Chain A
Amino acid sequence: MLEIRHLTKIYDDGTVALRDVSFQVPDGEFLAVIGLSGSGKSTLLRCINRLVDPTEGEILWDGTDIAKLKGEDLRNVRRKIGMVFQQFNLVKRSSVITNVLAGRLGYSASWRSLVGRFSAEDQQRAWQALERMGITNQAHKRADELSGGQQQRVGIARALMQEPKMILADEPVASLDPVLAHSILQHLERLNKEDKITVLCSLHYLDLVQRYGTSVIGLRAGQLVYQGTRDDIRKMTDAEFKTIYGEEAVRIGEVTGGVTGGVGGKE
C-alpha cells in the first residue's frame, strides 16, 4: 500500500510542481496518472523514488516514509521500485545485457560490480528477464542499435532485475507509435497481473488509460483534480476530461479513432 500525503514540491526556481497531493494506491493496482505536460506527473513519480526530493509531505510505503530516507536506507527502498522512462534512459553505448544487469546494482554493492562483473545468479536472472521481454537475441547488441520498442523492453527488463514490488513508468509509450505502445503496456499489464507488481504509469492517451488502468488520478497544474476507478474511467465524460486537460483539449481517442481498434493484440 502506497499512501501519498500532502505532497508538495517547489523547485529552486520557484516553480510549484506539486501542491498538496494526497492519494492512496492499494497493492496490485495499475494506476494511470494523467495530465497535461507540465502538470506534475513526472515530478510525482520521481518523488516516490526520490530522484526528486519533495519539499513537504509524506510518502508512506508499507509503513515507511520514503520522503525521510537517506543513504543506504533510501537505496534499499529504491531497489524495490523499478522505473521505466519515456526516453528509455539506457546507456546507449553499452550492450543490452550490461544495461539489464545494471538493474541489479542495488543488490551487489561489492567492488566487482564496479568493473561490470556480476554473479552467475544475476546473469541468469538477466537472461530470464530478456527472455520474458522476448529480446534474448539482441542481448549483445549495443543498446542504441535497437528500435524504440525494443529499447523500452530493455528498460522494463532492467526494472525487472530489481525484483520490484512497484514500477514507476514515466510516459513509457510517449515516444512510441500506437502499436508499440500497446505492446509495451501489455508487458507492464502482465507484470502487474502475474507478478502482482503495483504499476504507476503516466499516460497521455485516454484510450490507453481506459484500456489498461485499474484506477486513475488526474493532475492539473500540480494539483490532484481527478480520482477514479476502472469503471469511472470507462464512463469518463468529455467534461471531466476537460477539467484535467484544460478547455482546449480534445479526446485524442476521438481524433485518432483507430488507436484501440484492431491493434490491441499485436506484439
Chain B
Amino acid sequence: MNSKARKVTGEQKPSLVSPIVAALSSLIIPGMGQALARSLRKGLVLFFSLASIIALWVWRVRITARLESTFFDAVKKSFYLDPILLVVAIGIVVIYLWNAYDAHITAKQERSPSGFVLWTLVLFTFFFTGWQIGDIRPLDLIRDAQDAGPNLQRILWPWERAISRPEELLVATVNVQIPCVDPPPSPSDEVPGEPYISVSPTCGDLSQQNGALGTTLKLVGHGFAPNAQTEIWWQDDMGNEFRQRQAGEYITLVTDENGAFELDVIIPYRIIPPSETRSFALWELQARQIASLGKPEASEELLLSIEKMIETIFLGMMATFFGIIFSIPISFLAARNLMSASWVTLVIYYLTRAVLNIVRSIEPIIYAVILVAVVGLGPFAGILALTIHSIASLGKMYSEAIESIDPGPIEAIQATGANWLQTVMFAVIPQVIPPFVSFTIYRWDINVRMSTILGLVGGGGIGFLLIQWIRLFDYKAAGIAVWFIAFTVAILDYVSAEIRARFV
C-alpha cells in the first residue's frame, strides 16, 4: 500500500522543464527530455538503446559496402545491397522523432501509450538489426533445400555401406600372334566354371605410328560375372602390361546378364625395339573383371563404427569413473554445511567453489585440444578431458546433494547413542546415495554424448571416424556412425532415466 502510494506521487512529481523544451532537448540528445521530465531511468535506457542501434547500423553499413570510400556512398550502396539496412535506418529516424514526442508527453505528464510504442519500435529495430547481422536468408533456405537431399539421404539410410562382398579378380587370357606367321596359335582350353575368352583371328598386325589401324580381332567371352564392368588388357612377350585404348579412351565393357560379351579389338600401336630379331611375338590378350562375389559380410566401415562406438561408451565410462573418485572428496570441501565451522574451512569452501566453477565453465573439447598435444591422439586424451570436466561438474552436484541433506535424521540417530561412524552410515549415506547415483548416471550419459564430439579434435571415440568420413565426403560411412551415435545416446538416455527413477 505504502510503496504504491509513493510510486503515484513519484509519477506526479512535476517536470523540470516545459513540454516543448523537453521535446527539443530530446532532439539534441535522445532521452534528455525524459530525464529532465524526471524520468531519468527511461531517458538513460532510451539514450543507450538508440546509441547502440545507431552504432550497430553504422558498423553494418561499413561492412556491407566496404569498398566505398565516403560514408554517404557506403550508405547508398548498402541500401541497394541489403534493403534491411534501409528498414533499420527508417526505424532509427522514427524512434528519434518519437523520442522527442515522448519527451513532450512525459513532461506534460499525460497518460498515453507513447512509451509502449517507443519500446516496441526499439525492439523491432533491434530485431531487424539482428536479422541483418545474422545474415538470415529464408528464401535461400527454401530455394536450395533440395541441395541437402542427396547427402541427407546417404546419412539417413547408409546401410548398403554396412555390407560388403569380398572382391575377386576374374581373368581370362588368350594368346595372339603378332604378326601372323604360320601356324597361328590355337585357342586356349576351356576350363568349366572359369571365365573364358577367344579371339578370331588369333593373329594380326600392330597399328602403325602413322595412324594405320592394326588388325581387328573379334573377342568373345563368357563365364564372367553378369552385368559387371570388364577391362581389356594386353601383356606383351616381355611381360609389360597395358590397357587397351580405342580412339584414345580406355575400353570398359559391361557383361550381359549371362556374364558373356562380344567386342572388336584393334591391335594397338607399340614400338618394336630395333634389336628385335624374332619373326613374331606372342602377346596375351586379357579380359579382367573385379567382381563382388561371395557371401555378404559386415563392411569395414560397419566394423570400425562398432569398435569405435564401444570405445566411446567406455571412454565415457572411464571418465565418469575417474570423475567420481576425485569429485567425492572435493564435494565435501565444497559443501557449505560441512565447511562453515570456522573461517579457515570457509575460505577452503569458497576457493573450491570458485575453482569448480571455472573448470566447469570450460568445454571439454578445449581440454581435449590441449591434452591431445600432451598425450597424443586417442581415447586417453578424451578420457582426461572428460575427467577434468566431470570432476568439476560432479563435485558441484555432489556438494549440493550434501548441502541439501536433512539434519533431522542425523540428530535422531545421534540421540540413540550411536557413534560417529554409525551416524554417517545410517543417517548421512542413505540420504546422499540416491542423488549421487542419479547425478553419476546422468554424468555418464553426458560423457558418452560429449565423447562423440571429442573425436573431432582427436580425442578418440567414434567422433574421430565421423569427422574423417565427412571430410572424405563419404556420407554413407558417416551415416553409419551417426546412426550408432543416435542409437547409443537413445538407449543410454532410456537406461539412465530408468535407473534414476528407481533410485530417487
Task: Give A contacts to B, CB under 8 Å.
Answer: 49, 51, 75-83, 85, 87-94, 102-107, 109, 113-116, 155, 158, 161-162, 168
Contact = CB atoms under 8 A, between A and B. Distances in A.
A160 B412 CA distance: 13
Contacts of A76: 417
A102 B416 contact: yes
A116 B17 CA distance: 80
Contacts of B397: none
B416 A78 contact: yes
A122 B425 CA distance: 18
B414 A113 contact: no
B426 interface: yes
A114 B431 contact: no
Given A76-B417, A105-B416, 19 more contacts: A51-B415, A75-B417, A83-B415, A85-B408, A91-B430, A91-B431, A92-B406, A102-B413, A102-B426, A105-B418, A105-B419, A105-B426, A106-B418, A113-B422, A114-B421, A114-B422, A114-B425, A115-B425, A168-B415
Interface string B394-430: 0000000000001011011111111101100111001
B434 interface: yes
A168 B412 CA distance: 11
A51 B414 contact: yes
A93 B419 contact: no
B415 A93 contact: no
A49 B415 contact: yes
Contacts of A89: 406, 408-409, 411-412
Contacts of A93: 430-431, 434
Contact of A87 (B408, B419, B430, B434): B408
Interface in B413-464: 413-419, 421-422, 425-427, 430-431, 434
A137 B421 CA distance: 31
B422 A81 contact: no
26 contacts: A51-B415, A75-B418, A80-B417, A81-B415, A83-B412, A83-B415, A85-B408, A85-B412, A87-B408, A89-B406, A89-B408, A89-B412, A91-B431, A94-B426, A94-B430, A102-B413, A102-B418, A103-B416, A105-B413, A105-B416, A105-B422, A106-B417, A113-B422, A158-B416, A161-B416, A162-B417
Contacts of A168: 415
Interface of B: 406, 408-409, 411-419, 421-422, 425-427, 430-431, 434
Q: Which of A77, A91, A113 has the most CB of B within 10 A?
A: A91
A91 B423 CA distance: 11
Nearest to A111: B421
A69 to B, nearest CB: 11
A79 B416 contact: yes
Nearest to A103: B416
Nearest to B428: A91
B426 A91 contact: yes
Q: Which of B409, B417, B421 has the most CB of A within 10 A?
A: B417
Contacts of A81: 415
A75 B408 CA distance: 18
A81 B414 CA distance: 11
Nearest to B434: A93
A82 B416 CA distance: 7
Contacts of A75: 417-419
A50 B408 CA distance: 15
B501 to A, nearest CB: 14
A106 to B, nearest CB: 2
B423 to A, nearest CB: 8
A49 B409 CA distance: 15
A153 to B, nearest CB: 14
Contacts of A106: 416-418
Contacts of A90: 409, 412
A98 to B, nearest CB: 8
A155 B416 CA distance: 11
Contacts of B425: 114-116
B417 A78 contact: yes
The 4 closest A-B pairs by CB, nearest first: A106-B417, A79-B417, A89-B408, A89-B412
A161 to B, nearest CB: 8
A36 to B, nearest CB: 22
A91 B406 CA distance: 9
A91 B415 contact: no
Contacts of B409: 89-92
Q: Which of B416, B422, B431 has the most CB of A within 10 A?
A: B416
Contacts of A113: 422
Nearest to A52: B411
Q: Which of A105, A115, A116 has the most CB of B within 10 A?
A: A105
A109 to B, nearest CB: 7
A164 B412 CA distance: 14
A82 B415 CA distance: 7
Nearest to A71: B419
Nearest to A104: B416
Given A91-B427, A91-B431, A105-B426, A51 B417 contact: no
Contacts of A115: 425
Contacts of A83: 412, 415-416
A109 B417 CA distance: 10
A85 B434 contact: no
A56 to B, nearest CB: 22
